[in-house]
Amino acid sequence: MTPERPKQAQTAPRSTTFTAFGLQAEGQPLAPGLHVVATPIGNLGDISLRALGTLAAADAVIAEDTRVTRTLLAHYGITTPLVAYHEHNAEVVRPHLLARLETGAKLALVSDAGTPLVSDPGYKLVTEAVQAGHKVTTVPGASAVLAALVVAGLPTDRFYFEGFLPQKGGARRSRIAEIASVPGTLVFFESPRRLAAMLEDLATVLGDREAAVARELTKLYENVRRGRLADLAAEYAQEDPPKGEIVVLVAPPGQADAPAVDTIDSRLRAALKQHSVKDAASLVAAETGMKRREVYARAIALAIQPRAEETAADVAEIGDGG
């Protein structure tokens, strides 16, 4: 009599459900590839149903800090396995993640908060996944950069995200000087303990521009402090370092920061030798941070001036000959 083979334990399929508003829902099937998912920057309610479905249906969630992401998943009843991927292990873990994608895995990439790839190590994973021909999709959502920009009260038509400035004062001031003429609102991340020194350096290099310090956005103690750079620097220098996540925003260069008229004229004259009036105005406006229409008006005046002088000379010559 042939002995029976021992039965292998059956592994129950993992649940791909999530719970929101007291209701349980099933995550929709995902296509193989890397799904870049935005998560809340503080308020757990700031997540989309599509993001929840993606996190629930993925084979694994790739997280910068698994402790932070586990709290989010647990809040919505999601049991997807977590894989730690951060700057200290990225070089070792990334090949394994790419190998999983090669087998048709459905992976979700998140950051600790907000949109991945903004000041986190996800960039190289996305780049190599694209190069390997894997599908990369985005599930958009919260972003600290945009959240701060819309409440700062500063121009939003153009902005430049710098991220974290160098920690040392000399290098920090040098970098600020390099981006001083950017014709848009400057957006920075900063740590609480460096905030006062950073604001002082911004005021020293950029002049007394309008600025805003946005802290703990979407959280219980959300706070946005607005004012001139020098005033904000003085205020924070007299206080204990604030708590929480901080975004600093600085207004674009304005008339007070604009170069002198003779400097503008010399730049325009040089540009007009090689470009049309329109293109010369655009170039000089970008270099100086001045409004394009103001530079354009000055360029027209400079372009007309030689012709006017020639006409006046001709009239005088005719008069002398008469």
Check pLDDT > 60 for residue 162.
yes
For 283-303, write each residue's pLDDT tens digit: 887 766 677 788 888 888 888
* Rounded Cα distance, 118 and 111, in Å: 9
* Rounded Cα distance, 264 and 26, in Å: 62
CATH class of 145-254: alpha beta
Residue 88's pLDDT is: 93
Q: What does the pLDDT average to over 208-229?
A: 95
For 72-102, write each residue's pLDDT tens digit: 999 999 999 999 999 999 999 999 999 999 9
Report the Cα 46 to chain-centroid distance in Å: 18
Check pLDDT > 50 for residue 123.
yes
Confidence bin at 305 (pLDDT 50/70/90): low
If you average pLDDT over every residue of the chain, what do you get? 88
Confirm if 46 and 126 have CB atoms less than 8 A apart. Answer: no
**Strands, sheet with 33-37, edge to edge from the N-terminal-most edge strand:** 82-84, 60-63, 106-109, 33-37, 136-139
Confirm if 111 and 122 have CB atoms less than 8 A apart. Answer: yes
Ranges 31-35, 119-123, 146-150, 216-220: which has the least confidence: 119-123
Task: Give the DSSP H or E segment for 106.
Answer: strand 106-109
For 99-116, write each residue's pLDDT tens digit: 999 999 999 999 999 999
* Rounded Cα distance, 125 and 5, in Å: 44
Share of the chain above pLDDT 70, in %: 87
Residue with tokens 């009036």: 277
Ranges 9-23, 115-129, 137-151, 211-225: which has the least confidence: 9-23
Residue 322's pLDDT is: 46
Burial class (CB in 10 A: 0-12, 13-18, 19+), 261: exposed
Residue 2's pLDDT is: 53
Residue 280's pLDDT is: 84
Confirm if 61 and 55 have CB atoms less than 8 A apart. Answer: yes
Superfamily covering domain 17-142: Tetrapyrrole methylase, N-terminal domain (3.40.1010.10)
* Phi and psi based region of residue 211 (left: phi greater than 0; alpha: psi -120 to 50; beta: remaining): beta
Q: What does the pLDDT average to over 243-256?
A: 87
Could you tell me the residue ranges of all domains in the chain? 17-142, 145-254, 258-312
Check pLDDT > 70 for residue 316.
no
Confirm if 41 and 144 have CB atoms less than 8 A apart. Answer: yes
For 18-71, write each residue's pLDDT tens digit: 999 999 999 989 999 999 999 999 999 999 999 999 999 999 999 999 999 999
* Rounded Cα distance, 138 and 115, in Å: 10
Rounded to 5 degrees, φ, ψ at 287 are: -70, -35
* Rounded Cα distance, 199 and 205, in Å: 10
